[in-house]
């Protein structure tokens, strides 16, 4: 099953692309709720390169590595990757007169309901939009 999330970021494409791929920025926006945070991030943005974001509950009760390998990159347009569990993600960045439209399509996992997955990923994308817009 594929799940789609999207948002419009009212910022320039360069700003959006850089904030999406910069480890220091990722640590600022990569959380689905205020009681979580990303404590470490690495990005090797090239086909065959890998990424890792260490996501942890702020109370220290749980954490996990969100990681994968880039399979296709079109600068300022598209990023595809395969997560460590084999699921695939495609994210597009479309420059419009109103800002940058971001669309992500990802393979659902079987552990959590699809609505929960969609809501969590959408919350992270909404955090990203707020962060990128704050850089303007």
Q: pLDDT of 49-78, one tens digit each? A: 999 999 999 999 999 999 999 999 999 999
Q: pLDDT of 81-102, one tens digit each? A: 999 999 999 999 999 999 999 9
Q: Write the DSSP symbol of residue 109.
A: P
Domain boundaries, the chain: 2-134
User: Which CATH number, 3.40.1380.10, 3.30.530.20, 3.40.30.10, 3.30.420.40, labels domain 2-134?
Assistant: 3.30.530.20
pTM for this prediction: 0.95
User: In Å, what is the CA distance from 111 to each residue of 12, 13, 78, 100, 108?
Assistant: 37, 35, 28, 32, 9
CB 25 within 8 A of CB 131: yes
3-state secondary structure of 75: coil
């Amino acid at each position: 099953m594929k799940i789609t999330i999207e948002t419009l970021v009212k910022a320039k494409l360069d700003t959006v692309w850089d904030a999406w791929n910069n480890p220091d920025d990722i640590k600022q926006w990569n959380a689905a709720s205020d009681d979580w945070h990303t404590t470490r991030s690495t990005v090797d943005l090239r086909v065959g390169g890998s990424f890792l974001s260490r996501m942890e509950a702020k109370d220290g009760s749980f954490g996990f590595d969100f990681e994968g390998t880039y399979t296709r990159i079109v600068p300022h347009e598209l990023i595809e990757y395969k997560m460590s569990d084999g699921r695939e993600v495609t994210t597009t960045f479309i420059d419009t007169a109103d800002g940058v439209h971001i669309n992500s399509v990802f393979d659902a996992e079987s552990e959590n309901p699809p609505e929960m997955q969609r809501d969590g990923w959408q919350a992270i994308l909404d955090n990203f939009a707020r962060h990128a817009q704050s850089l303007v």
